[in-house]
A = this chain, B = another copy of it.
Amino acid sequence: MTGTLTIVGVGPGRPELMTPAASAAIADATDLVGYGPYLDRVTTRHPGQIRHASDNRVELDRARHALQLASHGRQVAVISGGDPGVFAMAAAVFEAVEAGPSEWRALEIRVEPGVTAMLAAAAEVGAPLGGDFCAISLSDNLKSWTTIRRRLEAAARADFVIALYNPLSKARPHQLGEAFALLRETIPPSSVVVMVRAAGSGEVRQIITTLGEVDPGTADMRTLVLIGSSATRLIAREGKAPWVYTLRRDVEGGR
């Protein structure tokens, strides 16, 4: 039997946010490959299905392992948080394919999209991604901090809403603070900042603040950070957190 490999986005956390197509891809697999906590989100057990859990820092190894299984005729699902194409497993799999044996190019490889953290975080607070936006991973494990700085500066100057993935970790605790300091050079301290932890899970926590007031110490690796554009606004509500949204149009005097 010909092997297949499907890179499956299981969404941000709550099972109700995983698409039926993703659930079906998981049900059809003989082997599940993934980072332990993402595998744990797959609560449905299928008889005979094998789970291969790995830790989070070995994406290329995990991708190669999955490709080897598929090349031996297995039906493999690589389990990815959120959407597999956004700072997740899909790019690692294709990188492994390009560098790997030519028979891997004959495999049937598919990507099952999912709700990425940025969309779940935005939905929790309103519609902050209502205008043009960009998504930047602050992790410099694979790219240089110079590249990240350059993209932050460009995004701020062009008045994008900015979504930050992987804002900090134990190994790099200072990057989110540095990113905020850099953004303050270009955009006003009154700019809206939203930090949503564990968006789209059962245990979401959100902070709505400003670029001038934000404390980067309140974020961790599960936090998605959104920095508003000049068109991002708050709608005050009695006894509740404000809604945050971005106007679809330019604002007068906008950056």
Q: Which A residues are closer than 8 A to B by beta carbons?
A: 11, 14-21, 24, 83-87, 90-95, 97-98, 105-106, 109-116, 119-120, 122-124, 126-137, 142-144, 147, 150-151, 153-155, 157-160, 200, 233, 235-238, 243, 245-250
Whether B83 contacts A111 by the Cβ 8 Å rule is no
Contacts of A112 in B (CB 8 A): 123
Cα(A79)–Cα(B122), bound, Å: 17
25 contacts between A and B (CB under 8 A): A17-B20, A19-B19, A83-B123, A85-B119, A85-B130, A86-B129, A90-B123, A90-B126, A94-B126, A95-B248, A97-B243, A105-B238, A106-B238, A111-B122, A111-B126, A112-B123, A113-B119, A113-B123, A113-B200, A116-B119, A134-B160, A143-B250, A147-B250, A151-B160, A153-B158
Which residues of B are found within 8 Å of A111, using beta-carbon distances?
122-124, 126-127
A84 cross-chain contacts in B, Cβ below 8 A: 123, 127
Shortest CB distance A130–B (Å): 3
Which residue of chain B lies nearest to A154 when distances are taken between CB atoms in the complex?
B158
Chain B nearest CB: distance from A159 CB in Å?
8
